[in-house]
Structures are given as structure tokens and as C-alpha cells.
Chains A and B, each alone.
Chain A
Amino acid sequence: MKKRKISWVAAAVCFLLLLFGVTVSMLAAFRSSVRQVSRQEELEAERFGSYYALISEDDDTLLWNSVYEGAKAEGEENWDACVEFFGGRLVSERTTGEKLRMAIDAGVDGIILNGDGSPEVEALVKEARQKGIPVVTALNDGAEDIRQCFVGVNSYNLGKEYAERIWGLLQEIRSDCQIQVLLNSGDADSGKNTLFLGLRDSLEQRISQKEWPWQVEISATAVDGSDAFQTEEVIRQLMVEAAPRPKILVCLSEADTRRAYQAAVDYNRVGEVRILGYYESRQVLEGIDKEIIDSTITVDGEQVGSLCVQALGEYRKTGYVNGYLPVDTCLIDRGNVSEYLERYPE
């Protein structure tokens, strides 16, 4: 009787524990489900001491995303700063000038700008400086006299790097050669022009030095960078209709490189047109791997972002910063493409 009683009590206790367990587990599941809904995430967001706006019209490109990642990481880790693609979530498309205006109105602590050299931007940079907001230009310079610092590649040197590679190609072609460089006409900044200048100077110097027997013609085609359709049309024209057709095509943006790659495949110009690209993406790297694109010159976007934040931090801290911070460039060709491909999983 006693044993039986104890077993009844044990059963009752077990049942109660089971009930309690089910209740607690279900409640936990329920709470976690509701927590997703609550604004807890917003309330628990990390607080920062300063706020930097990253402004670029190409904010959806891999290069600029890479710049943003580098800037964000550097800001959070070393400068107690929050970096944002300013106006990146706006529904309507806004120009660099408009975004700059908004950033000044929003009272940001610093601006990282993809400069375009336009007078409107220059005026706004001036206004920002008047309001005590430091401006650092990245990759493309502009308002050279006003901005605090430029972080990027020396365009002239980059041109020389392209010239080096083209010279290598000329050694392979060993015939008359038409070289086309795609420039964005919308770019008021002189960076691309300087690059073109550097490329041409360097190549001509080589040709004259080596007494190159074949005729080499270098020309630049201006395309409106803001109009993707037009660029695609220009490339098609160069690939199909141009006479003589360029044997070497130099693209100065990652998007143009992709377009050229696609056009070479579409119009069966693989091997006929050597494409030199700019910056890297999985598609570009695959093009190099398949020998459709000859090579690409890339910059370390994260390094750019990181240097921009460092420049802003330094300036805010000391009131002084170097006017130019150089960024490393790197040539990717068949020899080392596999290393880069590993970074881009399919």
C-alpha cells in the first residue's frame, strides 16, 4: 500500500514536471518567435561616436561595396565610427550632388565621396567644409583644392601599368594594332583622362624606344557612364562595325569589362579582341580563366575604404591629414587568376 502510494505520487510529480517542461519549452519558442518581431534589435544596436557618409553613384558595384565594407570595418574597429552608404536605401535615384546635399543637411561627421569633379559637387564640398564636415574623395578625385584627402590609385601610374600590359600584348600580336580605351564622358574628373594620358605616353615612349615596325594607334571612346544601354551599344559597335576593329580594348570600369566580355562571346570575337579590364568580379575572373579577357587591373577596395576612414579620423582628431593616400594595384592574368577565383565561391 505504501509502495503503491509512493508510485502514485511519483507519477503525479513526473506528470507535473512534464507539464511544466512542455509549458516552458513552448513558452520559450513562443517568446523567441515574438522577439523577432519586437524592436529589440534596434534598441540593442551598437552606439557610435561619429557618423560618416559614403557617397557614390556606383554604390551597387562590387568595387564600391568592397570600399564600403573596408570603411565600415575600420570605422567600427578603430574609430568608434558608423559608416553608411548614404541614401543607399532611398527609393528614388539621387545624384552625387543631391546625396551630398542631404548628407550636409543631416549633419554627418564626415563624408567619403566618389568624386566626379562637377562644379555642383565642388560647391557642396566647399559648403561642407564651411560647416566643419571633412570630405575625403575615394578612387575618383574632384574638388582637389577643397577636399581634405584623396584615397586612390595614381591615375597616371595606372595608365602606365596598362601600357606595360599592352606592350606585352603587342609583342604577341606583332602586327598593326588599333587600341581602344573606353572612357566615361560623364566623368568630369580628370582621373580617367590622366590615366589615358599616362597610358598613351608610356606606350608611345616604348614604341619609339624599341623602334616598333608596326603601326599602333591609340584612341579613346567616350561613353556616358550613367546610361548602361549606351555603353553596351558602343561596345557592340566597336566589336562589330568599327573599321579597323580594335585588337586591344581597354575598359576602365568593372561593368564595362563585363559588357566587353559578353560582347566578345556574343559576336565571336574571342581571341580577336584582347580585353583589358578594370577591377574584379567572379564573371571577370572567369573571363580571364577562359582566356576571353586577357587581364584586369584591380585595386583593394577594402584598403581604399579603410584608408578613407583613417584619413577622416586623423583629420577630425588632429585637424590635419595627408592630401593623398595611395592604394595598391594588382594585375590579374591567367597566371594568378585561380588565387582570386577562390575568393568568389559560386
Chain B
Amino acid sequence: MKIWESLSIRVKLTSAFLLTLLILFFINLFLYMNVNSMLERVNEVYQSNSRLNELSETLEKVQNSMTEYLSVKSTDTLDAYYQNCQELNRQLQELNEEICGNEILMMERNIRRMTAEYLEVTDEAMQAKRGRNIERYGQKYEEASQKFEYINDWIYSLNNMRFEINTDSYLTLVGSLRIFERFSLVILVLAGIANGFLIYVLARNITGPLTALAGTANQVAGGRLDVELLQARGQDEVAVVTGAFNQMIESIRLNLERTRENMEKEAAMKEKQLMMESHLKDAQLKYLQAQINPHFLFNTLNAGAQLAMMEGAEKTCLFVENMADFFRYNVKKINQEATLREELELVDSYLYIMNVRFGGEIHFSSRVDEELLNVKVPSMILQPIVENAVSYGIRGIEWEGWIFLTAGREDGRIRVSIRDNGAGMSREKIREVMEGKVQETDLSRNSTGIGLGNVISRLRLYYNTEHVLEIRSEGENRGTEVILYLPDLDTGEGEEDV
């Protein structure tokens, strides 16, 4: 069994077919040999009759050649006589000599003895003929003829008996052949069944593990990875495939386990990353808020000093007050969030300062929904926009410069619009600004240091949404409008985006 299991499928299949083939071959050989033996027996059935006929013929030849010699006395007939005698003697040797209880064998013995006696008499007759003893050879001839007749009678009788027995034998053989025919049929049918059965058992033995493997593979294909692993028996290909399959299942299970662990790790890492991003945003915010140009403070203070020198102390005082407010705001709110009201106040202070600086050229109008004044926003977001409107919008225009600031609710968000009637912006410029491609290195001495890009970045980080700012301009010299869309955190709007 162990040897069988260690064989390959090819060897197993070959063995199975060879085995069944050999069984059929040997059975056929067996049947063939028996048929052959039976045919030989059939051939032998009448052989004894044929032998007796030959004996009778030879005896007759001896008698004839003796008669011929006695009447002709030629050398040829003498030779013929001796040849026939020799042949007769040879044939007599085949007859039974022993005394036994079998009638037929005893008849053979009697024929043998009587023929020997007959030959003695014929010899005597021949001798007498040669010695020209007419009386004697005549007498011996008579004697021999009588014996010849007796022997023929015996041979004929024995032949008859043999024929009867042989006919019985023949009939028995025919009967045996019929039995054998049925026997062969039964054997062949049984061998056929046995072979079929053997092939079935062997095929089952060979394909059984394959079927089990197919069943398990189907289960695995259906998603059941918890199937019981098959035991690989032997060393054939199926066993190899089963082993490989088992290994594959093990690998899949291991990989799945690893993937699950990886996913868990990844999730943890993602959480960590998110936290880091949050910290980064905070840092960035703080960094950006720190990018305020300190030169501005000094320039403004210089302007205040010049005014005080030219016009007396009242206006200077107001100016310095505004200055102080502005400065305080910057220092105080640089790291915090502020209310919209505070941002508006800062814009007012800035514009006051700017109007002082540039001689009241900037006209400013604001219309803000009262409810929105306490809304929390990142600090320093309106002033840089207003500063942009002053610096790139209305400075240097030929007509009277206006800046309009409106704030109200729209679609659940807070809409803050800062519009000027200044130089306007081309579409390309707007796109560049929105995409952050404009380098804000050209900080003038009149700037707070916080550019529009900085504001956009801070708003995006703060609200965690991209759409926070929109720049509209109908073209050159047709003014620019910068609109902030701030999610209303107090009402919970926009929290989804955070």
C-alpha cells in the first residue's frame, strides 16, 4: 500500500491498465491452452483405431509378400517380406505386453503374442520354400493363413471395441467442449466484471484525492478560507498539488493576517498623520501670522511724527491713537482668532492711517449685518485685502478711490465682500493669485507684510476648505471685488468641511 501510494499517477494508471490487461491476457492464455489441449485430445481420439488399421495393413502385407514369395520366389518379394516383417515388429512394440486387468490391453497382448507366433510360422514357411520342402511350406502356409485370419479377427474385434470407446470419448469430449464453452464464457464475464471493478477501485483510489482537492478548492473559491486542510497521502502529483494547495491556503491566511495588521497600523499612522497635520497647520498659522513687516510700524510712526510737527497735537493724538490701536491689535491678535467686529475696526484704523498718509484719497464704505459682528474669524484677514485694494486698486487712479465692504449671510455662509473701483485685474492675474503663483516678495514699505496669498492659505487651513475666497474683476480700471466665504462656525455650518 505504501509503495502504491509512493507511485506517480502515470505509473499508477499504467499499472492499473497493465494489471487488467495482464489478467485478461492470462485468462485468454489459459483458455487458449485448454482449447489447444482439448483439440489435441480430439485428434488423439481415433489415433488408436488408426494404429490398429496400420497394424492390420502391415499384417496383410506380410501375408501377401509371403504368399507372393511362396508362389514366385523372387528376391524382391523376399525383401518386401523382410521389410514388412520389420515394420510389423516395430508396430507390435507399441502394443501392450504386460498382464493386467484391462480387457483391451489384454487383447493387445494377445495380438502381439499371436502375431509373434504367426511370424515364426511364416519364417518357417519361407525357410521351407528356400529348402524346397514343398510339403512343409504348404503346411506352414496353411497354418500361417489360419493364424493370419485369427489375428485379423482379433484386430478387427479390438478395433471395434476401441471404436466404441473412442466414440464415447469423442462424445465426452464434445460434451466437455460444451462445458468448456460455458466455462470460458463465465470466466470471461467474471474477468470482465472483475476488471471493471478493479479499474473502478484503482481509478477511485487515484482520483479520490483529486476530487477531494477539487471540492476543497471550490470551497476556497467560494470564500471559505477556514476549510480543513487536506492530508496529502503518498508522493504522487495529486499529493504534490495537495501539499502546494495547503501551502497556498496557509500563505493566503498569513497574508490576510498581515494585511489586516498593516491596515490597523496604517489607520493608526493615518490618525497620527492627521494629528501631525493639525499641528502643522497650527504652526503654519502661527508662522504666517508672524510674517508681519515691522517696517510698517516704523514708517507709520514717522508719519505720525511729521504730522505732529506740521499741525499741532490734536490730530497727532488721534493718529497716534489709531496707530496705537493698530499696533495693539497686531500684537494682541497675531496668534489668536478675532471677531469680525475687531477685524472691521482694524480696517477702519488702517484706512484712517492710510488716509492720513495719503491725504484722504481713500473713501471707505462698509455695510455689515449686526449679527455677524461677533462671529469669530482668523485675525488679520480683512486688513491685508483692504491693503491690496489700496495698494494695487485705487492708488494712482485718476478718479476718486472707493472701497466698499459688505458682510452678510448667504447660503448658510458668511459672505464678506471688499470691492474697490480701482485699476482692476486681468483674468490671468486673478488665476495666478488664486493658484498662489504670485511671489509676495515685493513687500513695499507701505504693506503690513501679509499678502493675499497668506490670507488665502490661512483661511484654507483654518476652515479646512478650499473655496474660501473669490476675486472678481470686470477688467482694467473697472475695480476689483474680493469675496470671502466663511463657514458660519457658530451655526455649525461648514463643520463638515473641518
Contacts and interface: CB of A to CB of B under 8 A. Distances in A.
Interface string A202-237: 000000000000000000000000000000000000
A41 interface: yes
Nearest to B42: A37
Contacts of B102: 41-42, 45
Contacts of B109: 51, 106
B194 interface: yes
B157 A90 contact: yes
Contacts, number: 110
B186 A8 contact: no
B105 to A, nearest CB: 6
Interface in B82-97: none
B118 interface: yes
A91 B157 contact: yes
Contacts of B100: 45-48, 82
B496 interface: no
Given A48-B100, A89-B157, A106-B114, A37 B172 contact: yes
Nearest to A46: B101
B114 A105 contact: yes
Interface in A49-94: 49-51, 76, 82, 84, 89-92, 94
A91 B190 contact: no
A289 to B, nearest CB: 36
A19 B41 CA distance: 27
Given A37-B169, A84-B103, A102-B110, A19 B194 contact: yes
Given A19-B194, A26-B183, A107-B117, A49 B147 contact: no
Given A19-B190, A22-B187, A106-B110, A91 B153 contact: yes
B167 to A, nearest CB: 11
Overall SS of chain A's interface:
helix
Contacts of B107: 89
B496 to A, nearest CB: 61
A242 interface: no
Contacts of B172: 33-34, 36-37
Contact of B186 (A22, A49, A84): A22
Given A26-B186, A26-B187, A37-B45, A105 B150 contact: yes
Contact of B194 (A16, A34, A90, A107): A16
Interface string B299-321: 00000000000000000000000
Contacts of A334: none
A240 interface: no
B344 to A, nearest CB: 88
26 contacts: A12-B198, A15-B193, A18-B190, A19-B191, A23-B187, A26-B183, A26-B186, A33-B172, A33-B179, A34-B172, A34-B176, A36-B172, A37-B41, A37-B45, A45-B101, A45-B102, A46-B100, A47-B99, A76-B101, A82-B101, A89-B157, A90-B157, A91-B160, A105-B113, A105-B150, A107-B117
Given A29-B179, A76-B101, 16 more contacts: A8-B201, A15-B197, A19-B194, A23-B187, A26-B183, A30-B176, A45-B101, A45-B102, A47-B99, A49-B99, A89-B161, A92-B153, A102-B110, A102-B150, A105-B114, A105-B118
Interface of B: 34, 37-38, 41, 45, 98-107, 109-110, 113-114, 117-118, 146-147, 150, 153-154, 156-158, 160-161, 169, 172-173, 175-176, 179-180, 183, 186-187, 190-191, 193-194, 197-198, 201, 204
Enumerate the 5 nearest inter-chain pairs by beta-carbon distance, A residue then B residue, closest first: A45-B102, A106-B110, A45-B100, A37-B169, A33-B176
